[in-house]
Amino acid sequence: MARLPGLGPRSARRAVLHLMAKRGMLLMPLAEAMAEVARTARDCLNCGNIGTADICPICADEARANGLLCVVEDVADLWAMERSGVFKGRYHVLGGTLSALDGVGPDDLRIPQLARRIEAEAISEIILALGATIDGQTTAHYIADQLEGRVALSSLAQGVPVGGELDYLDDGTITAALNARKRM
């Protein structure tokens, strides 16, 4: 437990002791639920979202095929966008950002799949919702460079703090950044 992000040894100990004290009420149902998730969890083959089927509920929902595609770094960002509830289109989860120093190249991200989705899903606009870090902006630039002329491209408006990830933003900020997105 202590190896989980956000949990230090002390909070991990407290959580474990709590689970042990409530074995029937908490530990068993949690253990069963986790076993179930471990068996069924997978990345959506289309967008990279995490779900329990090959195609995630968002990709399976025809109502969300409105021609808009929002590109995010990771699933936490997708969830942050979903929490705000303003975006009605589909997502594409890259699984990170380009960084030669960290050994992450275009082939390690879902960039080729992104290009294929433009025709397959009749995408009219791609919204790049990547962090304002150098790696995030380099990735945005890279994608824009590759897809230029094939689809309209936009990026989230400023207001996203430098080095900030979507997951840290409140819903209002995300809504404002989406509504004021800029054409690239």
Partner 1 sequence: MYLSSLTLSHFRSHRLVRLSVDARPVAIFGPNGAGKTNLIEAVSLFSPGRGLRRAAAAEMARRPESLGWKVTGILHGTTTHEIAFSSEGGAARQVEVDGKVASQVGLGRIARVVWLIPAMDRLWIEGAEGRRRFLDRAVLSLYPDHAQAVLDYEKAMRERNRLLKEQVRDPHWYAALEAQMARSGAAIHANRLAAVDRLTEAQREAETAFPVAELDLTQTEGEMPGSEAGLREALAESRFRDIAAGRTLVGPHRADLHGVFAAKGVPAAECSTGEQKALLISLILANARALAQDESQPPLVLLDEVAAHLDANRRAALYDEICALGAQAWMTGTERSLFDGLGGRAQALEVTEEAGESRVSTVALNP
**Binding partner selected for residue 141 from partner 1, Zn ion, none, CB under the kind-specific 5 to 8 Å limit:** partner 1
- Site residues for partner 1, window 104-133 (CB under 8 A)? 105-106
> Of 124, 146, 158, 179, which one interacts with partner 1 (CB under 8 A)?
146
Give the interface segment with partner 1, choosing from 13-21, 38-46, 79-87, 139-147 (CB under 8 A): 139-147
> Of 4, 26, 46, 163, which one interacts with Zn ion (CB under 5 A)?
46
Minimum Å gap between C-beta 119 and Zn ion is 17
Number of residues near Zn ion (by CB under 5 A): 6
- Site residues for Zn ion, window 61-90 (CB under 5 A)? none
Which of 95, 164 has the CB closer to Zn ion?
95
Q: For every residue of the chain, which 3-state class applies, written as one string?
A: CCCCCCCCHHHHHHHHHHHHHCHHHHHHHHHHHHHHHHHHCEECCCCCCEECCCCCHHHHCHHHCCCEEEEECCHHHHHHHHHHCCCCCEEEECCCCCECCCCECHHHCCHHHHHHHHHHCCCCEEEECCCCCHHHHHHHHHHHHHHCCCCEEEECCECECCCCCHHHCCHHHHHHHHHCCEEC
Q: By CB under 5 A, name the binding residues for Zn ion.
A: 44, 46-47, 49, 56, 59
